[in-house]
Amino acid sequence: MSSDHSSKDPRLHALHGHFERPRQFTFPFCYTPHPMCVAAASEVQRHVDESGVLRQEHGGGKMFGVLVVDTGDGGTAFLAAYSGLLAGRNDWTYFVPPVFDACRPGGYFRMRERQITEVGCEMERCAADPARLALMKEMKDVEEEARHATAAYRRQMEEARLRREETRRGGTDEAVEERLRNESRFMKAELRRMKRAYAARLEELAARLRPLDGRLERLRTRRRLMSDGLQEWLFRRYEMLNARGERRSLPDIFATFSAGAPPAGTGDCCAPKLLQYAYQRGYKPLCMAEFWWGGSPSGELRRHGHFYPSCTGKCGPLLRYMMQGLDVEPDPLGTVFEGELKIVYEDDDIVVVDKPHGMLSVPGRGCCVSALSLMCARYGGAGEALAVHRLDMDTGGLLVMARTAQAQRALHAQFEARTVSKRYTALLDGTPDCPGEGTIDLPLGADFNDRPRRKVDMETGRRAVTRYEIMGRRGDRTLVRLYPMTGRTHQLRVHCAHKDGLGCPISGDRLYGKGGGRMCLRATSLTLVHPSTGKTMTFCVDDGFQEM
Protein backbone atom coordinates (compact mmCIF):
# COMPACT_ATOMS: atom_id res chain seq x y z
CA MET A 1 0.00 0.00 0.00
CA SER A 2 2.86 2.40 -0.65
CA SER A 3 3.61 4.57 -3.61
CA ASP A 4 6.59 6.82 -4.27
CA HIS A 5 5.50 10.16 -5.70
CA SER A 6 8.55 12.12 -4.57
CA SER A 7 9.58 12.80 -8.17
CA LYS A 8 6.25 14.56 -8.73
CA ASP A 9 5.82 16.12 -5.29
CA PRO A 10 8.84 16.39 -2.97
CA ARG A 11 6.55 16.90 0.00
CA LEU A 12 4.75 13.60 -0.56
CA HIS A 13 6.56 10.74 1.17
CA ALA A 14 6.32 7.01 0.66
CA LEU A 15 4.66 5.01 3.40
CA HIS A 16 6.37 1.63 3.63
CA GLY A 17 4.51 -1.42 4.89
CA HIS A 18 1.13 -3.06 4.50
CA PHE A 19 -1.74 -1.52 6.43
CA GLU A 20 -5.49 -1.78 6.42
CA ARG A 21 -6.91 1.60 5.52
CA PRO A 22 -9.13 3.30 8.10
CA ARG A 23 -12.83 3.26 7.37
CA GLN A 24 -13.27 6.88 8.47
CA PHE A 25 -11.08 9.93 8.79
CA THR A 26 -9.61 10.74 12.22
CA PHE A 27 -11.69 12.76 14.66
CA PRO A 28 -8.78 15.10 15.48
CA PHE A 29 -9.82 16.22 18.98
CA CYS A 30 -9.85 12.77 20.56
CA TYR A 31 -8.27 9.80 18.80
CA THR A 32 -5.95 6.82 18.98
CA PRO A 33 -3.38 7.19 16.17
CA HIS A 34 -3.90 4.78 13.31
CA PRO A 35 -0.97 2.41 12.58
CA MET A 36 -0.42 4.22 9.29
CA CYS A 37 0.05 7.49 11.18
CA VAL A 38 2.36 5.82 13.69
CA ALA A 39 4.53 4.58 10.83
CA ALA A 40 4.51 7.99 9.14
CA ALA A 41 5.38 9.71 12.42
CA SER A 42 8.37 7.41 12.83
CA GLU A 43 9.64 8.51 9.42
CA VAL A 44 9.23 12.18 10.34
CA GLN A 45 11.00 11.67 13.66
CA ARG A 46 13.90 9.98 11.90
CA HIS A 47 14.12 12.84 9.40
CA VAL A 48 14.05 15.47 12.16
CA ASP A 49 16.80 13.74 14.12
CA GLU A 50 19.02 13.12 11.09
CA SER A 51 18.57 16.58 9.56
CA GLY A 52 19.22 18.37 12.86
CA VAL A 53 16.58 21.03 12.17
CA LEU A 54 15.23 20.80 15.71
CA ARG A 55 18.61 21.68 17.20
CA GLN A 56 18.09 25.14 15.73
CA GLU A 57 14.75 25.49 17.53
CA HIS A 58 15.42 27.61 20.59
CA GLY A 59 12.27 26.41 22.38
CA GLY A 60 13.61 22.87 22.47
CA GLY A 61 10.61 21.08 20.98
CA LYS A 62 7.92 21.36 18.32
CA MET A 63 4.53 19.93 17.42
CA PHE A 64 4.63 17.91 14.21
CA GLY A 65 1.81 16.34 12.25
CA VAL A 66 1.32 13.65 9.61
CA LEU A 67 -1.53 13.16 7.16
CA VAL A 68 -1.84 9.87 5.30
CA VAL A 69 -3.48 10.35 1.92
CA ASP A 70 -4.75 8.43 -1.08
CA THR A 71 -2.73 9.87 -3.95
CA GLY A 72 -5.50 9.26 -6.46
CA ASP A 73 -3.79 6.46 -8.40
CA GLY A 74 -4.30 3.72 -5.83
CA GLY A 75 -1.18 4.64 -3.89
CA THR A 76 -0.84 5.70 -0.27
CA ALA A 77 1.67 8.26 1.00
CA PHE A 78 1.95 10.82 3.75
CA LEU A 79 2.48 14.53 4.22
CA ALA A 80 4.26 16.14 7.16
CA ALA A 81 3.96 19.53 8.82
CA TYR A 82 5.13 21.49 11.85
CA SER A 83 3.25 24.10 13.85
CA GLY A 84 4.19 27.72 13.19
CA LEU A 85 7.84 28.20 12.27
CA LEU A 86 10.65 25.67 12.60
CA ALA A 87 13.97 27.30 13.53
CA GLY A 88 12.52 30.60 12.30
CA ARG A 89 11.66 29.23 8.85
CA ASN A 90 8.51 28.07 7.07
CA ASP A 91 10.14 26.75 3.89
CA TRP A 92 11.67 23.38 4.83
CA THR A 93 11.05 21.31 1.70
CA TYR A 94 10.35 18.04 3.55
CA PHE A 95 7.23 19.64 5.06
CA VAL A 96 4.15 21.20 3.51
CA PRO A 97 4.33 24.99 3.06
CA PRO A 98 2.27 27.47 5.08
CA VAL A 99 -1.24 28.28 3.92
CA PHE A 100 -0.07 31.85 3.41
CA ASP A 101 3.57 32.96 3.48
CA ALA A 102 3.58 36.07 5.64
CA CYS A 103 7.36 35.82 6.01
CA ARG A 104 8.08 36.64 2.35
CA PRO A 105 10.74 39.40 2.27
CA GLY A 106 9.47 42.62 0.74
CA GLY A 107 5.85 41.56 1.08
CA TYR A 108 3.07 43.73 2.47
CA PHE A 109 3.03 41.93 5.83
CA ARG A 110 6.74 42.42 6.48
CA MET A 111 6.58 46.04 5.31
CA ARG A 112 3.60 46.82 7.54
CA GLU A 113 5.21 44.91 10.41
CA ARG A 114 8.28 47.15 10.15
CA GLN A 115 6.06 50.23 10.27
CA ILE A 116 4.39 48.93 13.42
CA THR A 117 7.80 48.25 14.92
CA GLU A 118 8.83 51.84 14.13
CA VAL A 119 5.77 53.13 15.97
CA GLY A 120 6.71 50.90 18.89
CA CYS A 121 10.23 52.35 18.91
CA GLU A 122 8.76 55.85 18.88
CA MET A 123 6.60 54.86 21.87
CA GLU A 124 9.71 53.72 23.72
CA ARG A 125 11.45 57.03 22.98
CA CYS A 126 8.39 58.96 24.10
CA ALA A 127 8.09 56.92 27.30
CA ALA A 128 11.79 57.51 28.04
CA ASP A 129 11.67 61.28 27.38
CA PRO A 130 13.80 62.86 30.17
CA ALA A 131 11.26 65.67 30.63
CA ARG A 132 8.46 63.15 31.09
CA LEU A 133 10.47 61.01 33.49
CA ALA A 134 11.47 64.09 35.51
CA LEU A 135 7.83 65.17 35.82
CA MET A 136 6.74 61.68 36.82
CA LYS A 137 9.48 61.58 39.48
CA GLU A 138 8.53 65.01 40.79
CA MET A 139 4.87 63.94 41.00
CA LYS A 140 5.84 60.81 42.88
CA ASP A 141 7.98 62.87 45.28
CA VAL A 142 5.16 65.34 45.89
CA GLU A 143 2.69 62.49 46.49
CA GLU A 144 5.11 60.96 48.97
CA GLU A 145 5.66 64.33 50.66
CA ALA A 146 1.90 64.88 50.87
CA ARG A 147 1.36 61.45 52.38
CA HIS A 148 3.99 62.00 55.10
CA ALA A 149 2.97 65.60 55.83
CA THR A 150 -0.74 64.82 56.18
CA ALA A 151 0.00 61.74 58.28
CA ALA A 152 2.23 63.79 60.60
CA TYR A 153 -0.39 66.51 60.90
CA ARG A 154 -3.11 63.95 61.65
CA ARG A 155 -0.95 62.68 64.51
CA GLN A 156 -0.68 66.26 65.80
CA MET A 157 -4.47 66.58 65.56
CA GLU A 158 -4.95 63.38 67.51
CA GLU A 159 -2.51 64.53 70.22
CA ALA A 160 -4.33 67.87 70.44
CA ARG A 161 -7.69 66.09 70.70
CA LEU A 162 -6.41 64.02 73.60
CA ARG A 163 -5.17 67.19 75.35
CA ARG A 164 -8.58 68.81 74.88
CA GLU A 165 -10.29 65.77 76.34
CA GLU A 166 -7.93 65.91 79.32
CA THR A 167 -8.71 69.60 79.81
CA ARG A 168 -12.46 68.96 79.68
CA ARG A 169 -12.20 66.22 82.30
CA GLY A 170 -10.62 68.82 84.66
CA GLY A 171 -13.55 71.19 84.21
CA THR A 172 -13.90 74.15 81.85
CA ASP A 173 -15.86 77.38 81.64
CA GLU A 174 -17.50 78.75 78.49
CA ALA A 175 -14.41 80.73 77.42
CA VAL A 176 -12.11 77.71 77.69
CA GLU A 177 -14.63 75.54 75.86
CA GLU A 178 -14.83 78.06 73.03
CA ARG A 179 -11.03 78.12 72.79
CA LEU A 180 -10.95 74.31 72.55
CA ARG A 181 -13.61 74.30 69.83
CA ASN A 182 -11.75 76.96 67.88
CA GLU A 183 -8.55 74.96 68.09
CA SER A 184 -10.33 71.89 66.69
CA ARG A 185 -11.91 73.89 63.87
CA PHE A 186 -8.61 75.54 63.01
CA MET A 187 -6.70 72.24 62.82
CA LYS A 188 -9.37 70.66 60.59
CA ALA A 189 -9.30 73.70 58.31
CA GLU A 190 -5.51 73.60 58.24
CA LEU A 191 -5.60 69.95 57.13
CA ARG A 192 -7.98 70.88 54.32
CA ARG A 193 -5.70 73.76 53.27
CA MET A 194 -2.71 71.39 53.29
CA LYS A 195 -4.54 68.87 51.07
CA ARG A 196 -5.63 71.62 48.65
CA ALA A 197 -2.08 72.94 48.41
CA TYR A 198 -0.66 69.54 47.58
CA ALA A 199 -3.50 68.86 45.14
CA ALA A 200 -2.75 72.13 43.36
CA ARG A 201 0.94 71.24 43.08
CA LEU A 202 0.06 67.81 41.68
CA GLU A 203 -2.45 69.25 39.22
CA GLU A 204 0.16 71.73 37.95
CA LEU A 205 2.59 68.87 37.36
CA ALA A 206 -0.13 66.72 35.78
CA ALA A 207 -1.01 69.56 33.39
CA ARG A 208 2.61 69.68 32.24
CA LEU A 209 2.68 65.89 31.91
CA ARG A 210 -0.60 65.50 29.99
CA PRO A 211 0.74 66.59 26.57
CA LEU A 212 3.60 64.10 26.83
CA ASP A 213 1.32 61.28 27.98
CA GLY A 214 -1.21 62.25 25.34
CA ARG A 215 1.39 61.80 22.63
CA LEU A 216 2.29 58.40 24.06
CA GLU A 217 -1.36 57.37 24.17
CA ARG A 218 -1.90 58.47 20.56
CA LEU A 219 1.07 56.37 19.50
CA ARG A 220 -0.27 53.44 21.51
CA THR A 221 -3.68 53.75 19.82
CA ARG A 222 -2.06 54.06 16.40
CA ARG A 223 -0.01 50.93 16.95
CA ARG A 224 -3.04 48.97 18.17
CA LEU A 225 -5.12 49.99 15.15
CA MET A 226 -2.26 49.16 12.78
CA SER A 227 -1.78 45.75 14.45
CA ASP A 228 -5.50 44.96 14.37
CA GLY A 229 -5.72 46.01 10.74
CA LEU A 230 -2.71 43.93 9.77
CA GLN A 231 -4.09 40.90 11.64
CA GLU A 232 -7.41 41.26 9.81
CA TRP A 233 -5.60 41.62 6.48
CA LEU A 234 -3.55 38.52 7.23
CA PHE A 235 -6.57 36.43 8.23
CA ARG A 236 -8.27 37.41 4.96
CA ARG A 237 -5.30 35.96 3.07
CA TYR A 238 -5.93 32.53 4.63
CA GLU A 239 -8.50 31.15 2.22
CA MET A 240 -9.16 27.67 3.57
CA LEU A 241 -10.51 24.74 1.57
CA ASN A 242 -12.67 21.84 2.66
CA ALA A 243 -13.27 18.42 1.14
CA ARG A 244 -16.21 19.79 -0.85
CA GLY A 245 -13.93 22.22 -2.67
CA GLU A 246 -15.40 25.24 -0.93
CA ARG A 247 -13.14 28.16 -0.01
CA ARG A 248 -13.61 30.60 2.89
CA SER A 249 -11.42 33.05 4.79
CA LEU A 250 -10.61 32.62 8.47
CA PRO A 251 -12.86 35.50 9.67
CA ASP A 252 -15.79 34.04 7.71
CA ILE A 253 -15.18 30.56 9.15
CA PHE A 254 -15.01 31.81 12.73
CA ALA A 255 -18.11 33.96 12.22
CA THR A 256 -19.97 30.76 11.38
CA PHE A 257 -18.41 28.23 13.76
CA SER A 258 -17.36 30.40 16.70
CA ALA A 259 -18.60 33.43 18.59
CA GLY A 260 -15.26 35.24 18.48
CA ALA A 261 -12.50 36.28 16.12
CA PRO A 262 -9.69 33.89 15.15
CA PRO A 263 -6.86 33.82 17.71
CA ALA A 264 -3.40 34.84 16.57
CA GLY A 265 -1.65 31.97 14.80
CA THR A 266 -4.84 30.40 13.47
CA GLY A 267 -4.17 28.45 10.28
CA ASP A 268 -0.51 27.77 11.14
CA CYS A 269 -1.02 24.58 13.15
CA CYS A 270 -0.18 21.21 11.64
CA ALA A 271 -3.66 19.94 10.84
CA PRO A 272 -4.92 22.93 8.76
CA LYS A 273 -1.65 23.10 6.81
CA LEU A 274 -1.82 19.39 6.02
CA LEU A 275 -5.45 19.38 4.93
CA GLN A 276 -5.05 22.56 2.88
CA TYR A 277 -2.10 21.12 0.96
CA ALA A 278 -3.89 17.79 0.39
CA TYR A 279 -6.99 19.53 -0.97
CA GLN A 280 -4.89 21.75 -3.24
CA ARG A 281 -3.13 18.73 -4.73
CA GLY A 282 -6.23 16.54 -5.02
CA TYR A 283 -5.13 14.01 -2.38
CA LYS A 284 -7.80 12.26 -0.32
CA PRO A 285 -7.16 12.43 3.44
CA LEU A 286 -7.27 9.02 5.15
CA CYS A 287 -6.01 9.61 8.70
CA MET A 288 -4.07 12.20 10.66
CA ALA A 289 -2.09 12.53 13.89
CA GLU A 290 0.00 15.15 15.70
CA PHE A 291 2.92 14.50 18.06
CA TRP A 292 5.42 16.47 20.13
CA TRP A 293 9.13 15.98 19.44
CA GLY A 294 11.79 17.48 21.71
CA GLY A 295 11.88 19.17 25.10
CA SER A 296 8.74 20.42 26.79
CA PRO A 297 8.10 24.19 26.88
CA SER A 298 7.88 25.86 30.27
CA GLY A 299 4.44 25.61 31.83
CA GLU A 300 2.92 23.33 29.20
CA LEU A 301 2.71 19.56 29.37
CA ARG A 302 4.24 18.19 26.18
CA ARG A 303 6.07 14.89 26.34
CA HIS A 304 8.62 13.80 23.77
CA GLY A 305 7.12 11.36 21.27
CA HIS A 306 3.54 11.55 22.57
CA PHE A 307 0.57 12.03 20.26
CA TYR A 308 -1.83 14.89 21.02
CA PRO A 309 -5.28 16.01 19.87
CA SER A 310 -5.63 19.15 17.80
CA CYS A 311 -6.05 22.38 19.77
CA THR A 312 -9.60 23.61 20.19
CA GLY A 313 -9.10 27.40 20.34
CA LYS A 314 -7.48 27.87 16.93
CA CYS A 315 -8.26 24.56 15.21
CA GLY A 316 -11.69 23.74 16.66
CA PRO A 317 -13.80 25.97 14.40
CA LEU A 318 -11.32 25.73 11.52
CA LEU A 319 -11.17 21.93 11.32
CA ARG A 320 -14.92 21.59 11.67
CA TYR A 321 -15.13 23.58 8.43
CA MET A 322 -12.19 21.92 6.68
CA MET A 323 -13.46 18.39 7.39
CA GLN A 324 -16.82 19.05 5.76
CA GLY A 325 -17.12 16.52 2.95
CA LEU A 326 -15.05 13.87 4.78
CA ASP A 327 -16.50 10.83 6.50
CA VAL A 328 -15.15 11.54 9.99
CA GLU A 329 -15.14 9.25 13.00
CA PRO A 330 -17.79 10.17 15.59
CA ASP A 331 -16.73 12.22 18.59
CA PRO A 332 -16.01 9.60 21.28
CA LEU A 333 -16.80 12.21 23.93
CA GLY A 334 -20.26 12.72 22.49
CA THR A 335 -21.32 9.09 22.60
CA VAL A 336 -24.01 8.01 25.05
CA PHE A 337 -22.68 5.99 27.98
CA GLU A 338 -24.63 2.76 28.42
CA GLY A 339 -23.01 1.37 31.57
CA GLU A 340 -24.49 1.08 35.03
CA LEU A 341 -24.39 3.63 37.83
CA LYS A 342 -23.80 1.93 41.17
CA ILE A 343 -25.35 3.52 44.26
CA VAL A 344 -23.02 3.40 47.25
CA TYR A 345 -25.33 5.15 49.74
CA GLU A 346 -28.65 6.99 49.70
CA ASP A 347 -31.12 8.51 52.12
CA ASP A 348 -33.59 11.41 52.07
CA ASP A 349 -30.79 14.01 51.98
CA ILE A 350 -27.89 12.67 49.92
CA VAL A 351 -26.98 9.98 47.44
CA VAL A 352 -23.43 8.76 46.81
CA VAL A 353 -22.73 6.95 43.54
CA ASP A 354 -19.74 5.22 41.96
CA LYS A 355 -19.53 7.06 38.63
CA PRO A 356 -17.99 4.92 35.88
CA HIS A 357 -15.16 6.13 33.68
CA GLY A 358 -16.62 7.67 30.52
CA MET A 359 -19.82 9.04 32.07
CA LEU A 360 -20.47 12.75 32.49
CA SER A 361 -21.21 14.02 36.00
CA VAL A 362 -23.86 16.45 34.67
CA PRO A 363 -25.40 16.84 31.20
CA GLY A 364 -23.14 18.51 28.64
CA ARG A 365 -21.42 18.34 25.25
CA GLY A 366 -24.79 17.78 23.61
CA CYS A 367 -25.26 14.59 25.64
CA CYS A 368 -28.02 14.47 28.25
CA VAL A 369 -27.03 11.12 29.80
CA SER A 370 -25.06 11.73 32.97
CA ALA A 371 -24.85 10.60 36.58
CA LEU A 372 -27.12 13.47 37.57
CA SER A 373 -29.72 12.79 34.86
CA LEU A 374 -29.84 9.10 35.75
CA MET A 375 -30.45 9.89 39.41
CA CYS A 376 -33.11 12.46 38.50
CA ALA A 377 -34.85 9.74 36.48
CA ARG A 378 -34.54 7.33 39.41
CA TYR A 379 -36.22 9.76 41.81
CA GLY A 380 -38.89 10.82 39.36
CA GLY A 381 -38.07 14.47 38.81
CA ALA A 382 -35.25 16.88 37.97
CA GLY A 383 -35.50 18.49 41.41
CA GLU A 384 -34.94 15.23 43.30
CA ALA A 385 -31.18 15.06 42.59
CA LEU A 386 -28.98 18.16 42.71
CA ALA A 387 -25.34 18.53 41.68
CA VAL A 388 -22.81 19.30 44.42
CA HIS A 389 -19.44 18.69 42.74
CA ARG A 390 -18.13 17.04 39.57
CA LEU A 391 -15.64 14.48 38.35
CA ASP A 392 -14.06 14.68 34.90
CA MET A 393 -15.76 12.49 32.33
CA ASP A 394 -12.61 10.34 32.17
CA THR A 395 -12.42 10.02 35.98
CA GLY A 396 -14.44 7.39 37.80
CA GLY A 397 -15.34 7.00 41.45
CA LEU A 398 -17.31 8.55 44.29
CA LEU A 399 -19.69 11.39 43.49
CA VAL A 400 -22.14 12.87 45.99
CA MET A 401 -25.44 14.54 45.06
CA ALA A 402 -28.07 16.24 47.22
CA ARG A 403 -31.72 15.22 47.45
CA THR A 404 -32.93 18.63 48.70
CA ALA A 405 -31.94 22.25 48.17
CA GLN A 406 -31.11 22.57 51.88
CA ALA A 407 -28.77 19.59 51.71
CA GLN A 408 -27.17 21.01 48.54
CA ARG A 409 -26.41 24.32 50.29
CA ALA A 410 -24.89 22.52 53.28
CA LEU A 411 -22.70 20.31 51.08
CA HIS A 412 -21.66 23.27 48.92
CA ALA A 413 -20.52 25.06 52.07
CA GLN A 414 -18.36 22.07 53.06
CA PHE A 415 -16.70 21.90 49.64
CA GLU A 416 -16.08 25.66 49.62
CA ALA A 417 -14.56 25.48 53.12
CA ARG A 418 -12.43 22.50 51.97
CA THR A 419 -13.60 20.35 54.85
CA VAL A 420 -14.55 17.47 52.53
CA SER A 421 -11.70 14.94 52.43
CA LYS A 422 -11.11 13.23 49.08
CA ARG A 423 -8.66 10.53 48.13
CA TYR A 424 -7.95 9.47 44.57
CA THR A 425 -6.03 6.44 43.36
CA ALA A 426 -4.14 6.51 40.07
CA LEU A 427 -1.82 4.42 37.93
CA LEU A 428 1.04 6.42 36.44
CA ASP A 429 3.03 5.62 33.32
CA GLY A 430 6.60 5.18 34.52
CA THR A 431 8.33 5.74 37.86
CA PRO A 432 8.29 9.16 39.57
CA ASP A 433 11.72 10.50 40.50
CA CYS A 434 10.63 11.95 43.84
CA PRO A 435 10.22 10.94 47.51
CA GLY A 436 7.65 8.32 48.48
CA GLU A 437 5.31 11.00 49.77
CA GLY A 438 5.11 14.75 49.60
CA THR A 439 3.21 17.80 48.41
CA ILE A 440 2.92 19.34 44.93
CA ASP A 441 2.27 23.09 44.84
CA LEU A 442 1.94 24.27 41.23
CA PRO A 443 -0.49 27.07 40.22
CA LEU A 444 -2.75 26.28 37.28
CA GLY A 445 -4.34 28.40 34.59
CA ALA A 446 -6.43 27.80 31.49
CA ASP A 447 -4.81 27.14 28.13
CA PHE A 448 -7.17 29.47 26.27
CA ASN A 449 -6.11 28.31 22.80
CA ASP A 450 -6.46 24.63 23.66
CA ARG A 451 -9.39 24.13 25.99
CA PRO A 452 -10.03 22.13 28.09
CA ARG A 453 -6.29 21.73 28.73
CA ARG A 454 -4.72 23.44 31.74
CA LYS A 455 -1.13 24.57 32.17
CA VAL A 456 1.19 25.53 34.99
CA ASP A 457 1.13 29.34 35.21
CA MET A 458 3.52 30.74 37.81
CA GLU A 459 2.42 34.35 37.21
CA THR A 460 -1.37 34.40 37.01
CA GLY A 461 -2.41 30.82 37.78
CA ARG A 462 -4.55 29.91 40.79
CA ARG A 463 -2.81 28.03 43.56
CA ALA A 464 -3.23 24.24 43.36
CA VAL A 465 -1.94 21.87 46.04
CA THR A 466 -1.91 18.07 46.03
CA ARG A 467 -0.54 15.65 48.62
CA TYR A 468 0.63 12.28 47.27
CA GLU A 469 1.74 8.84 48.46
CA ILE A 470 3.53 6.35 46.21
CA MET A 471 2.08 2.92 46.99
CA GLY A 472 4.10 0.59 44.76
CA ARG A 473 4.57 -0.81 41.27
CA ARG A 474 2.08 -2.46 38.91
CA GLY A 475 4.27 -3.79 36.13
CA ASP A 476 5.74 -0.78 34.33
CA ARG A 477 3.31 1.57 36.08
CA THR A 478 3.20 3.16 39.53
CA LEU A 479 0.26 3.12 41.93
CA VAL A 480 -0.24 6.40 43.83
CA ARG A 481 -2.76 7.94 46.18
CA LEU A 482 -3.60 11.59 45.63
CA TYR A 483 -5.18 14.00 48.12
CA PRO A 484 -6.24 17.30 46.53
CA MET A 485 -6.00 20.21 48.97
CA THR A 486 -7.59 22.51 46.40
CA GLY A 487 -10.13 21.81 43.68
CA ARG A 488 -8.77 23.15 40.40
CA THR A 489 -9.83 21.73 37.05
CA HIS A 490 -7.52 18.87 35.96
CA GLN A 491 -5.40 19.49 39.05
CA LEU A 492 -4.43 15.85 39.67
CA ARG A 493 -3.79 15.16 35.99
CA VAL A 494 -1.46 18.14 35.56
CA HIS A 495 0.31 17.62 38.90
CA CYS A 496 1.06 14.03 37.97
CA ALA A 497 2.26 14.77 34.44
CA HIS A 498 4.26 17.97 34.96
CA LYS A 499 8.04 17.70 35.34
CA ASP A 500 7.88 19.73 38.56
CA GLY A 501 5.19 17.42 39.92
CA LEU A 502 5.44 13.63 39.74
CA GLY A 503 6.73 13.77 36.16
CA CYS A 504 4.64 10.76 35.07
CA PRO A 505 1.20 11.18 33.43
CA ILE A 506 -1.77 9.16 34.55
CA SER A 507 -2.08 6.06 32.40
CA GLY A 508 -4.64 6.57 29.65
CA ASP A 509 -4.77 10.35 30.05
CA ARG A 510 -5.61 11.55 26.54
CA LEU A 511 -4.80 15.23 27.30
CA TYR A 512 -1.57 15.06 29.27
CA GLY A 513 -0.27 11.54 28.56
CA LYS A 514 -0.27 8.91 25.85
CA GLY A 515 -4.01 8.27 25.83
CA GLY A 516 -5.38 4.92 24.71
CA GLY A 517 -7.81 2.96 26.86
CA ARG A 518 -9.44 4.23 30.03
CA MET A 519 -7.77 6.81 32.24
CA CYS A 520 -6.59 5.16 35.44
CA LEU A 521 -7.83 7.73 37.95
CA ARG A 522 -10.57 7.03 40.48
CA ALA A 523 -12.04 8.87 43.46
CA THR A 524 -11.78 6.02 45.99
CA SER A 525 -12.57 7.73 49.32
CA LEU A 526 -14.87 10.60 50.32
CA THR A 527 -15.43 11.95 53.85
CA LEU A 528 -18.07 14.56 54.64
CA VAL A 529 -20.49 15.67 57.34
CA HIS A 530 -24.08 14.59 56.77
CA PRO A 531 -26.13 17.76 56.18
CA SER A 532 -28.98 16.71 58.52
CA THR A 533 -27.50 14.45 61.21
CA GLY A 534 -24.13 16.19 61.54
CA LYS A 535 -22.46 12.78 61.53
CA THR A 536 -19.08 12.39 59.80
CA MET A 537 -19.40 9.77 57.06
CA THR A 538 -16.70 8.09 54.99
CA PHE A 539 -17.41 6.22 51.74
CA CYS A 540 -14.87 4.01 49.95
CA VAL A 541 -14.71 2.02 46.70
CA ASP A 542 -12.00 -0.13 45.12
CA ASP A 543 -9.66 1.43 42.60
CA GLY A 544 -10.47 -1.27 40.04
CA PHE A 545 -6.88 -1.45 38.80
CA GLN A 546 -6.08 -4.96 40.05
CA GLU A 547 -6.76 -6.58 36.70
CA MET A 548 -5.14 -3.89 34.58
- Catalytic annotation, residues: 392
Quote the crossing angle between the two packed helices 270-281 and 315-322, to the nearest 10°: 20
- Rounded Cα distance between 543 and 331, Å, is 27
CA torsion sign for 470, 355, 29, 463 is: negative
Are residues 273 and 322 in contact, defined by beta-carbon separation less than 8 angstroms? no
State the distance between the two ends of the chain, measured CA to CA, in whole angstroms: 35
Q: Own/partner pairs for 111-114, CB < 8 Å, 24+ apart?
A: 112/226, 112/230, 112/233, 113/230
β-strand pairing of 521-529 with 396-402: parallel
Q: Are 297 and 59 in contact (CB under 8 A)?
A: yes
CA-to-CA distance for 57 and 55, rounded, in angstroms? 5
- At residue 138, what are phi and psi to the nearest 5 degrees? -65, -40
Q: Is 281 helix (H, G, I), strand (E, B) or coil?
A: helix
| Residue 147, C-beta contacts closer than 8 angstroms, at least 6 positions apart | none
CB atoms within 10 A of CB 507: 26
198 phi and psi angles, rounded to 5 deg? -65, -40
Q: What is the DSSP letter of 398?
A: E
